[in-house]
Structure formats: structure tokens, C-alpha cells
Structure 1
Amino acid sequence: MKLVVVSAGLSVPSSTRLLGDRLAAVAAPAATAPEPQPADVQVIELRDLAVPIAHTFTSGFPEQELADAFDAVAGADGLIVVTPTFSASYSGLFKSFFDALSVTDADALTGKPVLIAATGGTARHSMVLDHALRPLFAYLKAVVVPTGVFAASEDWGAAGLDGRVERAGEELAALMAGLSAAPRRPRRDSFEEVVPFEERLAALRGGE
């Protein structure tokens, strides 16, 4: 089972990356419990992909490094997405990555469990979760975890943040485990179920 963390943090060290790591530390072991081996975790740092993301919009196709990131996201069993808050919304880099992904593969996030999270200087920005992130990933047809996590500057080291991280990580793990365990129905072409009218009529007459 594979868990991918997409972090849009710009600084080093980054509180955005730190929040993503803390969420993954809860979700990865819980997703495979009671198995002793936790889910594989891959972190995608968007600041390292800023130039390839920009080139994608001008060239029409992703460079190899960005294409590998897109493949990782599309192939993940679950995603943790974390962005810093800018002007009461997600960062431009964060949005550009998912815009470029949807242009390359419009169904990359369809049905995929996604945990949304954000960081900001004050708790007043916590609305970014429900007013920006949740609508974005609903539009991309992802399955958004009920609990989102926002971490303001004063939240680090506070007990409340630990509780939210724990709850959100466990919710993501449950979705990942549930979807991976669910039997996959074979896809049937709708045309295979079309029966010509003459055959239907003959079947009805044969039953008279």
C-alpha cells in the first residue's frame, strides 16, 4: 500500500512539510494494521518542481521529474495534501500542480482518498480547508477525508493539534484500507447489455 504526501511548503525547514510528516506518521501504520509493515510513504516537495510545473503550461507536457510525481499521485492508495495559506486560500504553486495534473490525467484523483491540511500564521485562516481545499478536491472527484487539519503558528506543541492529526490520519487510513480491500467489479461495456428488439420480442412470444 502506498501513501503520497504532497507538500507545497517553500521554506527549509517547512512547517507545511512538518505537518505532512506528522499526518503520514499516523496514517501509514494504521492503513495496514494489524500487519507489521506500514504503508510506503513518498513525499513530493512542490518547491523542487516549480519550474517544471510552469513549463508544463507552456509546452503542453510534463518533464520527466514532474511526470514521475504525477505517476506517484495517480498510483497512490491515499494522498495527504498540505499547503501554506496565502490570501485566505491555497498557494499558487499548490494549485498549479493539481491543475497540471488534471490536464495530463483528468481522472488521476477519481475515487482516491485525500486528507487535506494547511498551515498559516493565525487560526483565522482555518476556513481555507472548507472554503478552498475541500471544493477543489471534490471537483477533482477525490474522496475527501471528513477531518481536515489546519495548524496555526500557536498550534505547534499544543494538545489540540495532536488530537486533530490523530483523528484525520486514522480516517485516511480507514478509507485506504477499505478501498484496497473492496473487490473490484469487472468493468462492463454498456453496449454488451443491449439486446435487439427482435430478440426480446421472440423471447416474450416463446414464453406464451
Structure 2
Amino acid sequence: MTGTESRTLTVISAGLTQPSSSRLLADRLTAATVAALDERGVGTDVEVVELRDHAHALVDNLLTGFPGGALRSVVARVAASDGIIAVTSIFNASYSGLYKSFFDVLDQGTLDGVPTLLGATGGTARHSLALEHAIRPMFAYLRAATVPTGVYAASEDWAGSGDQALAGRIARAGDELAAAMAGREHTGPADPFADAVPFEELLARQRAN
């Protein structure tokens, strides 16, 4: 069903390999969110961003303070999004450096109040608490509106009964994000020239002086 309303969803995947388990989890979270929005009569404009494709541009941005090329478009897309799905692989019990670098280059306030679903992948379930002790605090600092359910997927979660439990967490998280996005007023990207003074008015003021 195609809804009369539409929301913009940007999916950030910080997997380092191709294919990656982070992208696999991101795709499943996206499908669950889109389906839940569709049930609410809301369409979805989805774009998936693979951070590995922007790794060099991120380093340049950190050094110069300015995003270049395709990274500039990604940053603008995130700033205009009604919802974010952000998935990272876990290294040494925390998010990857690539993932952190991306959120480091966003302007302050970019994620203020934006509904956000957090996901992570790793080789063992022992890293699952990284969602709560490392990733969620970072997004709290960025003032994103993270949904209650974060989804961590270890290697054993992709097969057998583990996949059934994972599917349940994905469905719950996707529904939470969809509810938050559907309830958020869609304003679209801000127009930097919306309050510009017409040239004729500026000229009239100059003549009056």
C-alpha cells in the first residue's frame, strides 16, 4: 500500500567488508520499518549509505572541517531525514572508528529530536552491551530520539532458533521507529533563503538612507 503521506528514512551502515553483517542487519531493519510505516498508510523514501564508500572523504572532512563531494550530499540527506537507522560493527566492545567519524562531522543539532534506531553486529554475544554503554550514550549526546529497542546481532543469531529471536527484535524495533516517524511532522529540508529580503526592498532602503 502506498500512503498519502511520506517520510524520509536514511540508513547508515558502517560495515567494513562487502558484503557485511552490518549491511544485512541494516537491510532487515529497513524492511521492518518500511512495512510498519506502510501499515500506517505512510510511504517511505529510503536511502542506504555505506560509510566505507566515504572513508577517505570523512578523513578529509575531519582535517579540513568541510565535507566534499558525495559526502556533502549524505550529510544534507541526514539533516533532512525524518528517521535514521544507524548500524555499526563492534570492535573492542565499542563502535567502529568509521562510524564515530561520520557522526563527528555532523553539525551540532543535526540529529536533534530525529527518531533513530540503533543496531550493531559482532562475532559474539558478549559485545551486545555495547549498544547501551557506548552507542546509545553517543546518540543521547547528539540529542537524537532513539527508540527503546536496539538490535544487536551476533554470529549465532543468523541461523536456526537464533534467527527467530532476532526477527522478533527487528520487527519490534522497526515498529517503534515507524511509530516515531509517523508521529513526527514532516517539514523537509530547511530553505536557507526562506527569510531573504527581496532585492527591491534592499534597494529601497538604500535609497531612503
| TM-score normalised to structure 1 length | 0.83
Q: Distance in 2 between matches of 1:78 and 1:30?
A: 13
1:109 aligns with 2:111: yes
Q: Superposition RMSD on alpha carbons, in Å?
A: 1.4
Equivalent pair of 2:120/2:131 in contact (CA under 8 Å)? yes
2:204 corresponding residue in structure 1: none
Equivalent pair of 1:32/1:177 in contact (CA under 8 Å)? no
How big is the shift at 1:80?
0.3
How big is the shift at 1:60?
1.7
How big is the shift at 1:126?
0.1
After TM superposition, list the pairs within 5 Å mapping 1:1-208 onto structure 2.
1-35=7-41, 38-101=43-106, 105-157=107-159, 158-180=163-185
Equivalent pair of 1:50/1:93 in contact (CA under 8 Å)? yes
Percent identity for Structure 1 against Structure 2: 54
Q: Distance in 2 between matches of 1:66 and 1:181?
A: 24
Q: Distance in 1 between matches of 2:99 and 2:132?
A: 16
User: Secondary structure, in 3 states, of the residue corresponding to 2:47?
Assistant: strand
How big is the shift at 1:10?
0.9
Q: Distance in 2 between matches of 1:125 and 1:88?
A: 5
Q: Distance in 2 between matches of 1:34 and 1:130?
A: 29
Equivalent pair of 1:10/1:47 in contact (CA under 8 Å)? yes
How big is the shift at 1:57?
1.4
How big is the shift at 1:32?
4.2
Structure 1 window deviating more from structure 2 (83-92 vs 54-63): it is: 54-63
| Deviation string, structure 1 residues 66-120 (Cα, Å, up to 9, x no partner) | 110101111111000000000000000000000011xxx2111000000000000
| Greater Cα radius of gyration, structure 1 or 2 | 1
Q: Distance in 1 between matches of 2:102 and 2:115?
A: 18
Structure 1: which amino acid aligns with 2:142? L
Count of matched residue pairs: 178
Q: Specify every segment of 5 or more residues in structure 1 that has no aligned partner in the other structure, as ranges.
A: 183-208
| TM-score normalised to structure 2 length | 0.82
Equivalent pair of 1:30/1:38 in contact (CA under 8 Å)? no
Equivalent pair of 2:28/2:170 in contact (CA under 8 Å)? yes
Equivalent pair of 2:9/2:45 in contact (CA under 8 Å)? yes
Q: Distance in 2 between matches of 1:119 and 1:172?
A: 19
Structure 1: which amino acid aligns with 2:8? K
How big is the shift at 1:33?
2.9
Structure 2: which amino acid aligns with 1:24? T
- Point out the structure with the larger helix share: 1
Structure 1 window deviating more from structure 2 (80-89 vs 172-181): it is: 172-181
User: Secondary structure, in 3 states, of the residue corresponding to 2:185?
Assistant: helix
| Deviation string, structure 1 residues 118-144 (Cα, Å, up to 9, x no partner) | 000000000010001100000000001
Q: Distance in 1 between matches of 2:143 and 2:97?
A: 20
